[in-house]
């Protein structure tokens, strides 16, 4: 790693001589319409395989009815999320959504939007540089079919 002086500010710029990227797709097919899955072990495995020690890791759902988010791995909290999301965007009646007709997943699009598309985690010394209790979750809102999550890691 080579240090380069930045001009006109106090920031420093680093040039990576060995910048690399690593791309993985994780696949999920849940047994129920809605589910939260802790995918931290799979993401950690992607990072280990990449060999990248310093950089940034992006995890995003590739579908518009599922989310990737970071929070606590606590079952009570996950039931709270489910109740909260059902109050905001109830699955039924399907007829309440203009989106529905050919589809019945209007609620899932809204739930995905509020729970987010992606997370970015710093990679430090080959590890996911989490705060206390942070874990990465896949949030499915229209499941029982094959869905994909993209993991992209850049660094050196």
Interacting residues toward Zn ion by CB under 5 A: 103, 105
Q: How far is the CB of 94 from Zn ion (least distance, A)?
A: 11
Of 35 and 107, which CB lies nearer to Zn ion in the complex structure? 107
Closest CA to 62 of 144, 127, 151: 151
**Extended beta strands in 1-117, E state:** 2-5, 12-15, 20-28, 35-38, 55-61, 66-71
Residue nearer to Zn ion on the CB measure, 103 or 129: 103
Nearest CB to Zn ion, comparing residues 60 and 100: 100
How near is the Cβ of 99 to Zn ion at its closest, in Å? 6
Residue 121's H or E segment, with its range, is: strand 118-124
User: Please, what is the minimum distance in Å from the beta carbon of residue 136 to Zn ion?
Assistant: 25
- Residues whose CB falls within 8 Å of the CB of residue 14, separated by 6 or more in sequence, listed in order: 1, 2, 3, 4
């Amino acid at each position: 790693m080579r240090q380069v002086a930045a001009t006109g500010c106090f920031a420093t710029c680093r040039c990576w001589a060995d910048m690399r990227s690593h791309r993985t797709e994780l696949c999920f097919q849940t047994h129920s319409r809605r589910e939260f899955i802790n995918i931290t072990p799979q993401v950690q495995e992607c990072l280990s395989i990449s060999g990248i020690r310093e950089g940034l890791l992006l995890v995003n759902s590739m579908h518009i009815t599922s989310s990737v988010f970071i929070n606590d791995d606590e079952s009570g909290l996950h039931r709270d999320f489910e109740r909260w999301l059902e109050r905001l965007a109830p699955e039924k009646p399907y007829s309440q959504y203009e989106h529905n007709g050919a589809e019945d997943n209007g609620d899932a699009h809204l739930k995905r939007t509020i729970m987010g598309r992606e997370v970015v985690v710093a990679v430090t010394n080959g590890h996911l540089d989490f705060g206390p209790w942070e874990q990465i979750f896949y949030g499915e809102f229209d499941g029982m079919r094959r869905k994909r999550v993209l993991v992209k890691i850049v660094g050196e």
